[in-house]
Amino acid sequence: MEYDDSEKATEVAERMRAFMDEVVLPTEREHLASGEPVSHSRIDELREEAQERDLWGPQIPEEYGGQGLEFREILPAFEQVGRSLIGATAVRANAPDEGNIHTLEMVGTEDQKEEWMQPLIDGEMTSGFSMTEPLQGGGSDPKMLQTTATKDGDEWVINGHKWWTSGGREADVLLVMARTDFDAHPYEGCSFVLVPTDTEGVEIVRNIPHLGGEGIVEGGGIGHAEIEYDDVRVPVENTLGEENRGFQVAQMRLGPARLTHCMRYTGMATRALDVAKAYLDEREAFDSSLSDKQALRHRIADAETKLHAGRTMVRNAAWRITEGDQARVEVAMAKTFTANATQEAIDLALQCCGGNGIGKDLPIAYFYESVRTFRIVDGADEVHRRVIARDAFEDPASEEVEHVTRY
């Protein structure tokens, strides 16, 4: 399959695949065989080797220690890291840090980049994305956002209740969206504020148990936290991007992040199918190998076709973004289609492997749990379809649904 990727993108992706095959996947298999979690010290060792192989941060500019790939060029490498349960973490391409680093790069001040972005890139710090709220707060309809940030001299005073804050439990700093102009429409009156988690008034209530949240890394991975902000005071200079332009910053972050998520999940689905095809070749039943059964062959063919279509849609949306277009409809199409195509492919892989598929000696069961969440995170299917439908009907009120949140 040809995707018109640049020579540099292809070369980095090939080296990334080799790193996954030679180092990361064997580490993952050791965990699956022993049942022991992958320790943080082992993750550190993988990160050191990624740096030695010049594979650290494909999306990070060279001047900050990364590969310096353009946005469209990072997609093949992200697909390779998605093949492993720990691949993205091993090369600093993991959410939410990947998207938060990108946001700081785009709109952060030089002081903010020095204080937070560079430590995030170096793996010395972690971050959380704190936007979604429970109950009557902002979710798929973000104009319902309730968290507030009020100026008191040269400080913001933040009050509110967030949940599904990706990376919140382990974070050193949080990107918090809050209402900052109460007379304006929320789309024109919200801001992002950088809040260190050791600030007085920040309470990490819990890590929310959820489907696919088990992971294989010691401590359960990044998780998604419920957080309360009670008179949290931070300097106004912690405003990330322009004041009252939080939704514009969110769109700059979330569009590309949805596409990189898509590629991580196509990598996950590709590996699941690879495992399934190997199993079908070896498993004998009803007088021949399962791979000889036409029904299974046709279903595999359909899954491969849809994954190819998803990769192509993602690349098209990424190309439009690099050309300066926000590509909201194209991103919505790519995200919705790919989320469903990858879920179907992984579900098929699990079915093909039978009892081995639902067992956790193989990675497929972990993939299955994770991929189901993808139809909700980064904007639910229904919200993205609403964006697409409004464009199809040329509805002049489409700006109301262009702002879809992480959950």
Q: What is the pLDDT of residues 31-47, one digit of tens each?
A: 999 989 999 999 999 99
Q: What is the pLDDT of residue 406?
A: 43
Mean pLDDT of 327-355: 97
pTM (2 decimals)?
A: 0.91
Q: Is the pLDDT of residue 75 over 50?
A: yes
Q: What is the pLDDT of residue 276?
A: 96
What are the start-end ranges of the H helices in 244-380?
246-282, 294-322, 328-353, 355-358, 364-373
Instruction: For residue range 14-27, list pLDDT tens digits in order.
Output: 999 999 999 999 99
Q: Which of 221, 244, 267 is the endpoint of a domain? A: 244
Q: Give me the chain's average pLDDT, please.
A: 92
Q: Is the pLDDT of residue 349 over 50?
A: yes
Does one domain contain both 313 and 379? yes
Does one domain contain both 267 and 353? yes
Report which residue type is found at 18.
A
Does one domain contain both 273 and 176? no
**406 within some domain:** no
Q: Which of 244, 269, 298 is the endpoint of a domain? A: 244
Instruction: For residue range 236-289, list pLDDT tens digits in order.
Output: 999 999 999 999 999 889 889 999 999 999 999 999 999 999 999 988 878 788
The domain of 77 spans 7-94
Does one domain contain both 389 and 301? yes
- φ, ψ dihedrals at 312, nearest 5°: -70, -40
CA atoms lying within 13 Å on the CB side of residue 257: 24
Mean pLDDT of 322-350: 96
Does one domain contain both 371 and 266? yes
Q: What is the pLDDT of residue 215?
A: 82
Contacts of 306 (CB under 8 A, 6+ apart): 337, 341, 344, 345
Q: What is the pLDDT of residue 2?
A: 64
Q: Is the pLDDT of residue 85 over 80?
A: yes
Total structural domains in the chain?
Answer: 3
Q: How confident is the model at residue 226 (pLDDT cuts 50, 70, 90)?
A: very high
**DSSP secondary structure code for residue 5 in this structure:** -
Q: What is the pLDDT of residue 401?
A: 42
Closest by alpha carbon to 275, among 365, 152, 185, 212? 365
Does one domain contain both 282 and 320? yes
Q: How confident is the model at residue 331 (pLDDT cuts 50, 70, 90)?
A: very high
